[in-house]
Structure 1
């Protein structure tokens, strides 16, 4: 067993040395990026090489905010399994630097209610008290924290985002 571990360690080390020095061996041993989509065309052979089906591809696109492929110019499947997307210029997200403005920096939202339970430690660390939380709950139409699935406090804007427990069933599944 120890011999197998030593052989594995030496081979892993050898592969890292070889792939670091040779681009040819890097492509052979690790792989190379594959263009799956470009200018409105899907490349089926590259889908097969990447061992990804169209449903997985669409899931990756949706995870990055692209529900419509016409908003994409190119999609590249990286050798590490991630998908890199290049939007068309007219649909790319507008950046503040495009408008020459400096936006206010946002801070991390703090979870103060999880699954109907108040997290007193996070509430105090974020600079809020139970009185403030109760007031926010009532202003948003809730009686108590047990009705809330997730409550997140914004320490800069001094606001509370609430997501209730109730779950309504979808009438249709758009991903079938």
Structure 2
């Protein structure tokens, strides 16, 4: 009666169909628990999770003699590890840099960086294809091209090629460049701060925007035009 669960030699078609339904619902629930992040991005940890889960739960669907309890338990355990690592990465910026690649700048101020292209193993053809997908067909309009941690290439156009607003008319537009992260998750990113400003300047900006301490800031960036972006940290985080 429960051959679909325990496995049996010569499992019937109906047994395989029941197994397929169980596995589908089970994986659906795992994804709901893990959140949309595992579906929208393909960081190394997400790719590893997808490959292992597919192999673990896929075998019982092709071999009717295998019981379902073991593979489903293993899938739940792997999902637990994945969720734990994702949580640690969210809370610990240093650990996040281990499991998630840092963005790589492939074009800077309109110039293609050959060494970075070689390091990222990105061909010119791939770069141009992704720029076309970003509606950046004309390379002379591109200020920065960045290989993101999920493998996609994003493009930042030069300010003079952005759509104008009424405030921009008859005004000289400064290139905004590539935003630099100065504060993340309530922590100074000293390596970035040293490149553009100083901790004293960052603290002054925090005060000017109505905050008292770096721990109150979730994200602070500074672009090439000197524009500061600040996002308050949720107290529950």
TM-score (norm 2): 0.37
* Higher share of residues assigned strand: 1
* Higher share of residues assigned helix: 2
